[in-house]
Structure 1
Amino acid sequence: MKKGLNKLFFLLALAAGVAYADPIPTEALTQGGLVMRDRQLRDIGLVMRGGRGGFFDIGYTFTPSSEQLQLKSKYGVHDGFAFRHHYGIFGSWVLDSVSHLGFLTWYDRAGWDSQDFFFFPHYGKFAHISSAFTWGFSYTNTKYDVTAALGLQHQNLELASKRVYPNESDSLLFYWGHARYKNISIQGSFYRNSFQTLRLSLDLESRELYGGVGSGYKTYLPNLSATIYRRKNNGDDDNFVRLNLEQNLYEQQLYADVSYDFPKGGFHSAILKYYPANFSRLIGFEASCLRRNEIGGSRELLWGGAIDFIILRLGYNSAFDYDNMFGAKGTFIAEIHIDVGSIGSNRFGRGAAKAAPMETTQKSRDPNKGLNYRSELRNIGTPTVDAQGNKVIEAKGIRYEKVDGSATQGGN
């Protein structure tokens, strides 16, 4: 009975979230290219903290109901489906004892369509579908603890209905670079002769995964980043800077993540993240607060959270979903995904400080025991002579004695 009530309450909460979800504006879809490219470079920056080993990430974000994330245009509100498909792959090869050459590729495809789909869109009359593809090479030297990476980013507009969306370039080519020395890294994205994003990061937290300590005050040092975004507003530059602080609060399991925009915008979001021990960020829980900027100029705090359980992430009003799913709010967002990294025999989730423990059973073998056993086998059936000069033959625990003719056998 109790389990039945729990299921009923869950379904009612889910239905309420679907019924009262706010529609997404068309402006959010036209800005999706910048969001995808920046998210990819952020993920690449996390992978380049080690710069070696491998990383694999694939995910599919979907909304099961056509009324869950509707589209709001000048013609009204339209039923449909918002989506995001993505993958990221990084692999490296050992050149010598200290040098590693890597190759990486990231891909995102996101947008809104009138019909649900898995691979092939319906291309409805209000659809907007775009993608971003990033690739490049990296080099890491573990002796000097440095990493350098560079490559290209391709942003493509697959479809945008001319009825509701402004004219956009079908294809744009960007180039990017990343450089890291110990805990300091610089990353930039450029289009022709102008920058799009510039990021400076100070990863001061000591991570056992990358050769640091696993406990102590060094694990409580903050991770800081400042990103300059190039933005246009009515043809004029409207650049802004986003500051981000990630702080370990308890044994690298509980973290606070706060971001702030200036010169205007102010507080953006605050996220409290909890990662259970022994899972290396493969399982996580988060609670978030985000201040959203609506078109009308009003501001309000958006409270939400998410649960990430290895292959399924379920969020409601989470700051991540708002930033990466066109301002989605007031509904549940589900993502089926797998992301795991490896360095040697270590396995870990994105941004982890420690590796997940791998249980192994090791059996020790005594070499002397084996030698003694083989020696005993060779001695089976070999006659020996006792103290009286009699020959003795031992085989499988049976003892035979050969005596001289003057001795009696079998007793009296």
Structure 2
Amino acid sequence: MRILLCALFFAIFSAPTFAGHVTTAGVSAGGGATRDLQLREIGQVFHPQTSGYLGANYYYFPLPSQSKLTTEYGKHEGYILRQNFAGYFADSLGKSGWKLGILWWMERHGWDSEDFVLFPHYSKFSLIRSVQTTGFTLSRPHENFGFAGGIQYVNPEHVGKIYEPEVDTLYEWVAAVWGPISAQTSFHHSDFKHVRVTLNLESKQVLGGKSSGPLTYLPNIDVALFDRDGDKDSLRLFWEQNLIAQRLYAEALVYFPNKSLRAVGLKYYPDPSKVVSFDVTCYRKRGGDLIWGGGITMPFFRIAYNHADDIENVFGLRGTFVAQFHLGIEKILDKFVGLNGSRSTPMMTREIDTDGNVKKKRREEREKAFQETRKPSAPKEITAKGIVMEEAK
């Protein structure tokens, strides 16, 4: 633990300052990155055993000098916006054995010339966009398979003149999961946009698997193919590997046809529930330069510097600190776990009673134990030993 913390702070504070301003190309590409991120998270959340998920993030960039926008006209002072929310709820359909769920992921992001909470300034260099993914799930927990589908809606609220024009766009997506294998695809009307196959081979106790042993060291692999509108299709390969007791993980991200590693990371979780983490990451720029960074995630707060996940998902922004309100908790059966965690959270000192029969059974057990403590104890026989005195002769 101490070694990893030292490595984290060394990576953050000894790394070169690869400060880079936000670019128009990065802001324009934010819609596609967010669409894929939402579908990836839905794939992580949607298991036949999952009953709910709640996630929320609000990003704050405390260094205004590194939130500038670079355009052909120069550099512009401004504000980066990224806030998102995710919710999923599923419940059994009577005694049919099927479970029906509903989900909604939404994000609002962009760049504006002034700081704001609800109403942007909408300047000529601004771009504000919202991306929403919604749908339904249908699963059979006992057979461990399920289906999902829905729509994605991209709404450019305001697009400045320096960006490529955008219009409201509607996508369709479907997904299926069977045991450790899941598949996912999306379309724009009849045009194919992406297909993803995920192999969650790592055995996880929260999903009915093992808590230790060789099966917990199997990898989690995510492979996605994207259509690039006439350009060469892009293949994304992500590999997650448990290294030590489902607490220390290594991650690697590769894009093809560019075969070089895009990003690698080492993440330490004090508990396998993955609610708290300490990360060290390395991101490779297109020119080959390496960007070292890291971050610390707590139950409601996260702070990071040059983190590979932020560079990948926040307009390619690098060389800046991110302070983030963070929430991500999943409910699988009657246990709570962090997103993609392997065991329930440590604060669960007892199982949550969600079933009437379980409540009744546990109430009877408590009453029985209470009655046993009130039973009178069996009488004890006390034998007194006296002193025998004899008269002296």
Q: Which runs of 4+ in 1 moved over 3 A?
A: 360-364, 368-373
- What are the equivalent positions in structure 2 for 1:287-298 lying under 5 Å apart? 287-293=280-286, 298=287
The TM-score, its normalising length taken from structure 1, stands at 0.81
SS in 2 for 1:166: coil
Alpha-carbon distance between aligned partners in 1 of 2:349 and 2:182, rounded to the nearest angstrom:
34
Alpha-carbon distance between aligned partners in 2 of 1:224 and 1:204, rounded to the nearest angstrom:
8
- Work out whether residues 153 and 173 of structure 1, in 8 Å CA contact, stay in contact via their aligned partners in 2: yes
Alpha-carbon distance between aligned partners in 2 of 1:352 and 1:63, rounded to the nearest angstrom:
28
* Equivalent of 2:311 in 318, 322, 328: 322
Give, as a single letter, the amino acid of the residue that structure 2 aligns with 1:29: V
Alpha-carbon distance between aligned partners in 2 of 1:248 and 1:208, rounded to the nearest angstrom:
14
> Where does residue 237 of structure 2 map in the other structure?
243
- Work out whether residues 207 and 332 of structure 2, in 8 Å CA contact, stay in contact via their aligned partners in 1: no
Residue 317 (structure 1) shift: 0.7
- Work out whether residues 51 and 138 of structure 1, in 8 Å CA contact, stay in contact via their aligned partners in 2: no
More displaced 10-residue stretch of structure 1: 308-317 or 92-101:
92-101
Aligned residues: 352
> Where does residue 152 of structure 1 map in the other structure?
151
What residue ranges of structure 2 are gaps of 5+ in the alignment?
A: 1-8, 352-361, 378-393
Q: Confirm whether residue 177 of structure 1 aligns to residue 170 of structure 2.
A: no
- Work out whether residues 253 and 261 of structure 2, in 8 Å CA contact, stay in contact via their aligned partners in 1: yes
Give, as a single letter, the amino acid of the residue that structure 1 aligns with 2:212: S
Q: Deviations over 1:245-285 (max 9, x none)?
A: 1100011011111111112252111111111026x111111
Residue 365 (structure 1) shift: 2.2
> Where does residue 69 of structure 1 map in the other structure?
67
Residue 331 (structure 1) shift: 1.1
* Equivalent of 1:367 in 368, 371, 390: 371
> Where does residue 127 of structure 2 map in the other structure?
128
Residue 372 (structure 1) shift: 5.1
Alpha-carbon distance between aligned partners in 1 of 2:291 and 2:374, rounded to the nearest angstrom:
69
Residue 243 (structure 1) shift: 1.1
Alpha-carbon distance between aligned partners in 1 of 2:372 and 2:45, rounded to the nearest angstrom:
47
Larger Rg: 1
> Where does residue 91 of structure 2 map in the other structure?
93
Give, as a single letter, the amino acid of the residue that structure 1 aligns with 2:349: E
- Work out whether residues 21 and 67 of structure 2, in 8 Å CA contact, stay in contact via their aligned partners in 1: yes
SS in 1 for 2:216: helix
- Work out whether residues 203 and 210 of structure 2, in 8 Å CA contact, stay in contact via their aligned partners in 1: yes
Residue 116 (structure 1) shift: 1.0
Q: Confirm whether residue 220 of structure 1 aligns to residue 210 of structure 2.
A: no
Residue 114 (structure 1) shift: 0.8
Distance change (3 Å), C-alpha of 1:47 and 1:149? same
SS in 1 for 2:66: coil
- Work out whether residues 48 and 140 of structure 2, in 8 Å CA contact, stay in contact via their aligned partners in 1: no
Q: Deviations over 1:354-385 (max 9, x none)?
A: 11131249977242454659xxxxxxxxxxxx
Alpha-carbon distance between aligned partners in 2 of 1:202 and 1:313, rounded to the nearest angstrom:
28
What residue ranges of structure 1 are gaps of 5+ in the alignment?
A: 1-8, 374-412
* Equivalent of 2:50 in 52, 55, 65: 52
- Work out whether residues 133 and 155 of structure 1, in 8 Å CA contact, stay in contact via their aligned partners in 2: yes
Residue 50 (structure 1) shift: 4.3
Alpha-carbon distance between aligned partners in 2 of 1:248 and 1:99, rounded to the nearest angstrom:
32
RMSD: 2.5
> Where does residue 193 of structure 1 map in the other structure?
190
SS in 1 for 2:123: coil
> Where does residue 379 of structure 1 map in the other structure?
none
SS in 1 for 2:64: coil
Distance change (3 Å), C-alpha of 1:325 and 1:369? closer
Q: Confirm whether residue 299 of structure 1 aligns to residue 288 of structure 2.
A: yes
Alpha-carbon distance between aligned partners in 2 of 1:216 and 1:265, rounded to the nearest angstrom:
33
Identity of aligned residues (%): 35
* Equivalent of 2:278 in 269, 285, 294: 285
Alpha-carbon distance between aligned partners in 1 of 2:126 and 2:175, rounded to the nearest angstrom:
35
- What are the equivalent positions in structure 2 for 1:245-260 lying under 5 Å apart? 245-260=239-254
Give, as a single letter, the amino acid of the residue that structure 1 aligns with 2:121: H
> Where does residue 351 of structure 1 map in the other structure?
340
Alpha-carbon distance between aligned partners in 2 of 1:97 and 1:340, rounded to the nearest angstrom:
28
Distance change (3 Å), C-alpha of 1:87 and 1:51? farther
Give, as a single letter, the amino acid of the residue that structure 2 aligns with 1:26: T
> Where does residue 83 of structure 1 map in the other structure?
81
